[in-house]
C-alpha cells in the first residue's frame, strides 16, 4: 500500500509541476490568440467565400445566358474577380488559420441560380441585375464590418483591399438593365 500511495503522490506532484511549467505558454496564447480566430473572422470567411461562390456561379450563367452585352460582360467580370478574391482568401489568408471556406453558394443563392437559369431575354437580365445590386450591397456591408471590427489582421487587410472592387461592382450593377 505505501508504494501505491507514494506513486500517486509522485504523479500528482509531476502533474502540478507540468501545469505550472505550462502557464507562461498559456498566458501567451490567451485572449490575443483566441481573438485571432474569433467567431467574427470565421463567420466572415464563410460568408465571403459563399458569396464569392454565388457570384461566380451567377456570373457564369450571365456570361452564357445574358441577353445584353452589358450583362454578359458583367457576368464574366464577376467570374474573374470573385475567383481571384476567393483564391486569395483561401490560400493567402484563411487557409493559414484553418478557417472553413465555403466552396459552394448558400442554398438560397443556388436556388436563385436555378430559377434564373429558366429565364431568358430581358427578364433574365433584369432579375440578374437586381440580384447583383442586392448581393453587392450585402457584400460591401460584410467586408466593411470585417475591415473595421475583425480581429485577424490578415483578414482585415484582405477585406479592406477587396472593398474598392466590390464598390466598383455595385456601381456597375446599378447600370445594368433592370427592366
Q: What residue ranges do the domains of the chain occupy?
A: 36-174
DSSP 138-170: HHHHHHHHHHHH-S-HHHHHHHHHHHHHHHHHH
Q: Which three cell numbers stand for residue 21?
A: 511549467
Q: How far apart are CA 1 and CA 42, in angstroms?
A: 53
The predicted pLDDT at position 18 comes to 38
pLDDT average, residue stretch 10-24: 37
**Mean pLDDT score across all residues of the chain:** 83
Q: Which of 1.20.1260.10, 3.60.40.10, 3.40.50.300, 3.40.1280.10 is the CATH number of 36-174?
A: 1.20.1260.10
**HSE-up of 10 (CA within 13 Å, CB side)?**
6
Look-up of cell digits 440578374: 128
pLDDT of residue 94: 65
CA within 13 Å, CB half, 128: 37
Residues 6+ apart with CB under 8 A from 122: 67, 177, 179
Distance CA 155, CA 159 (A): 6
pLDDT number for residue 133: 98
Query: Over the stretch 135-173, which tens digit does the pLDDT of each residue have?
Result: 999 999 999 999 999 999 999 999 999 999 999 999 999
| pLDDT tens digit sequence for 27-66 | 333 333 333 444 689 899 999 999 999 999 999 999 999 9
Q: Do the Cβ atoms of 44 and 150 come closer than 8 Å?
A: yes
Per-residue pLDDT, averaged over 12-30, amounts to: 37
Q: State mean pLDDT over 61-89.
A: 97
Q: What is the pTM of this model?
A: 0.76
Distance of CA 111 to the CA centre of its chain: 20
77 close to 136: Cβ distance less than 8 angstroms: no
pLDDT for residue 67: 98
Cβ-defined contacts of 114-117 (< 8 Å, 24+): 116/58, 116/61, 117/61, 117/65
Q: According to the model, what pLDDT value does residue 100 have? A: 85
Amino acid at each position: 500500500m505505501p508504494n501505491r500511495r507514494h506513486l500517486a503522490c509522485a504523479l500528482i506532484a509531476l502533474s502540478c509541476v507540468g501545469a505550472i511549467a505550462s502557464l507562461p505558454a498559456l498566458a501567451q496564447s490567451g485572449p490575443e490568440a483566441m481573438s485571432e480566430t474569433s467567431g467574427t473572422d470565421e463567420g466572415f470567411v464563410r460568408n465571403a467565400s459563399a458569396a464569392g461562390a454565388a457570384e461566380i456561379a451567377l456570373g457564369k450563367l450571365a456570361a452564357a445566358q445574358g441577353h445584353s452585352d452589358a450583362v454578359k460582360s458583367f457576368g464574366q467580370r464577376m467570374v474573374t474577380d470573385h475567383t481571384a478574391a476567393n483564391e486569395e482568401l483561401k490560400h493567402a489568408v484563411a487557409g493559414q488559420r484553418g478557417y472553413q471556406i465555403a466552396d459552394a453558394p448558400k442554398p438560397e443563392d443556388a436556388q436563385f441560380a436555378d430559377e434564373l437559369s429558366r429565364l431568358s431575354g430581358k427578364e433574365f437580365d433584369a432579375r440578374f441585375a437586381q440580384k447583383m445590386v442586392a448581393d453587392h450591397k450585402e457584400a460591401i456591408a460584410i467586408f466593411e464590418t470585417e475591415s473595421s471590427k475583425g480581429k485577424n489582421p490578415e483578414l482585415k487587410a484582405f477585406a479592406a483591399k477587396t472593398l474598392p472592387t466590390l464598390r466598383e461592382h455595385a456601381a456597375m450593377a446599378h447600370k445594368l438593365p433592370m427592366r
